[in-house]
């Protein structure tokens, strides 16, 4: 396989998920777990606004960016981290970034309960338009994610609202903006091989490129496609489908001549949701023998694990920012 599938969502623009869309999404999920979506309804101008604001922010002096450093976000886990401030498999990434999530007030029951990764966002004074662009973008792309989950529900023989009822009535929505500088050597990686944790990742990327996906035929490029998002599946969806769908390893190497900007949105189960296989998962047909690939890139198995999504996510995050965990969540 040389190219990732392209799924056209425009027939679902009226709000009704068609059988054809469900079939296309199902095929893409079974094939590589990575695909492009077009016809998603998110205005290109909104994507451009987020990218422009991101580039303006990342160009600021580091002391100014540090005014919204993640240590100021506390348990909400929001804000800026510097270049090489995040780890993948114990290796520092060649990227800096901004962490956002669902905008919650201090009165929200989840915030009052002290749930990690829940709370208000940290926004900088400059650029002034970043806050509105981020919140508008998150709302629009979360809607795309719910449509895709409805299509997946139908593809699995469930009713259209199954995921929203069982896992995503109060989803964990996380949004990141990353800057990847040009690499000094072609021997290094901007971000090493990894998988995502939850249900769906919906990624916008600029024209620089550098994303690679591990397909059944080996590593393939996922270059930018005009007005398209890249969608990939997380560990929980592989677990829920007993391996019918795959959480595919991927990596990034910026071989361009300028900074690469990308912004993934993660639409994941509710924090306290117990993530179990979907009804009749093993009888869906085409369920792979996952004995060989149940040992993940990080030495763990999504099929052997059990618990709430919050437990799973917190265990993963603690390896990404170990020092920050010690600082702001010492009892986690």
179 in a domain, yes or no? yes
Average pLDDT, stretch 307-324?
90
3 in a domain, yes or no? no
pLDDT at 291: 47
7 in a domain, yes or no? no
Interval 11-23: pLDDT, tens = 887 778 999 999 9
pLDDT at 332 over 50: no
271 in a domain, yes or no? yes
CATH of the domain at 287: 2.60.120.330
Cα-to-chain-centroid distance, residue 275: 17
pLDDT at 286: 53
pLDDT at 134: 98
pLDDT at 118: 95
Interval 40-93: pLDDT, tens = 999 999 999 999 999 999 999 999 999 999 999 999 999 999 999 999 988 999
pLDDT at 126 over 60: yes
Task: Assign 89 to helix, strand or coil.
Answer: coil
The pLDDT confidence band at residue 1, using thresholds 50, 70 and 90, is very low
pLDDT at 277 over 50: yes
256 in a domain, yes or no? yes
The pTM assigned to this predicted structure is 0.94
The pLDDT confidence band at residue 294, using thresholds 50, 70 and 90, is very low
5 in a domain, yes or no? no
pLDDT at 297: 60
Token look-up 């999920």 returns 29
pLDDT at 328: 76
Token look-up 């303006």 returns 56
Bridge partners of 176, per DSSP, are 99
* CA–CA–CA angle 76, 83, 93 (5° rounding): 90
Between 229 and 303, name the one with better pLDDT.
Answer: 229
pLDDT at 261: 98
State which residues form the domain around 105: 12-328
Interval 179-230: pLDDT, tens = 999 998 777 899 999 999 999 999 999 999 999 999 878 899 999 999 999 9
pLDDT at 16: 83
Q: For the chain, report the end-to-end CA distance as a whole number of angstroms.
A: 42
pLDDT at 290 over 60: no
Average pLDDT over the chain, rounded to an integer: 91
101 in a domain, yes or no? yes
319 in a domain, yes or no? yes
Is residue 96 classed exposed, middle or buried when 0-12, 13-18 and 19+ CB atoms within 10 A define those classes? buried
DSSP characters over 99-167: EEE-B--TTSHHHHTT-TT-B-----SSSTTHHHHHHHHHHHHHHHHHHHHHHHHHHTTS-TTHHHHHT
Domain count, the chain: 1
Bridge partners of 86, per DSSP, are none
């Amino acid at each position: 396989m040389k190219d990732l599938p392209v799924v056209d969502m425009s027939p679902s623009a009226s709000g009704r998920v068609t059988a054809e869309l469900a079939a296309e999404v199902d095929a893409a999920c079974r094939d590589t777990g990575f695909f492009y979506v077009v016809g998603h309804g998110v205005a290109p101008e909104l994507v451009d606004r987020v990218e422009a604001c991101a580039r303006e922010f990342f160009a600021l002096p580091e002391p100014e960016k540090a005014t919204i450093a993640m240590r100021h976000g506390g348990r909400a886990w929001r804000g800026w981290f510097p270049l090489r401030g995040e780890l993948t498999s114990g290796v520092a990434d060649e990227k800096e970034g901004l962490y956002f999530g669902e905008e919650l007030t201090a009165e929200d029951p989840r915030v009052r309960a002290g749930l990690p990764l829940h709370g208000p966002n940290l926004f900088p004074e400059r650029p002034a338009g970043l806050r509105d662009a981020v919140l508008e973008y998150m709302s629009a792309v979360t809607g795309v994610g719910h449509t895709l989950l409805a299509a997946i529900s139908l593809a699995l023989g469930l009713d259209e609202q199954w995921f929203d009822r069982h896992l995503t009535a109060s989803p964990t929505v996380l949004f990141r903006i990353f800057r990847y500088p040009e690499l000094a050597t072609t021997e290094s990686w901007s971000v090493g091989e990894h998988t995502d944790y939850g249900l769906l990742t919906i990624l916008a990327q600029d024209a620089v490129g550098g994303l690679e996906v591990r397909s059944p035929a080996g590593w393939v490029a996922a270059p930018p496609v005009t007005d398209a998002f890249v969608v990939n599946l997380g560990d929980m969806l592989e677990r829920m489908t007993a391996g019918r769908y795959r959480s595919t390893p991927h990596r990034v190497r910026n071989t361009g001549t300028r900074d690469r900007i990308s912004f993934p949105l993660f639409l994941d189960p509710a924090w306290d949701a117990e993530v179990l296989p979907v009804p009749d998962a093993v009888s869906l047909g085409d369920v792979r023998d996952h004995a060989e690939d149940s040992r993940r890139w990080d030495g763990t198995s999504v099929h052997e694990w059990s618990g709430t999504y919050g437990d799973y996510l917190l265990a993963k995050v603690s390896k990404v920012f170990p020092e920050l965990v010690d600082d702001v969540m010492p009892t986690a």
